[in-house]
Amino acid sequence: MPDVAALALQLGLDPGSVALRQALTHSSYAAEHGGDSNERLEFLGDAVLDLAVADFIVVNYPDFNEGACSVLRSRVVNEDSLASAARDLGLGEYVRLGRGVVKERGDERNSLLADTFEAVIAAVYLERGYERAQELVVARLRRTIVDSSHGDTLDAKTRLKRWAETQGVGAPVYEVTSSGPSHDVTFLATVSVGTLLVSASGPSKKRAEVNAAAAAWEEIPDA
| CB < 8 Å & 24+ apart, contacts of 14-17 | 14/127, 17/123, 17/127
8 A C-beta contact, residue 52 and residue 138: yes
Q: Which letter does DSSP use for residue 203 in this model?
A: S
Three-state SS for 48-112 is: HHHHHHHHHHHHHCCCCCHHHHHHHHHHHCCHHHHHHHHHHHCHHHHCECCHHHHHCCHHHCHHH
User: Which residues have a Cβ under 8 Å from the Cβ of 178 and sit 6 or more positions away?
Assistant: 185, 186, 187, 188, 205
- Which residues have a catalytic role annotated? 46, 118
What is the C-alpha separation between 118 and 125, in angstroms, rounded?
Answer: 11
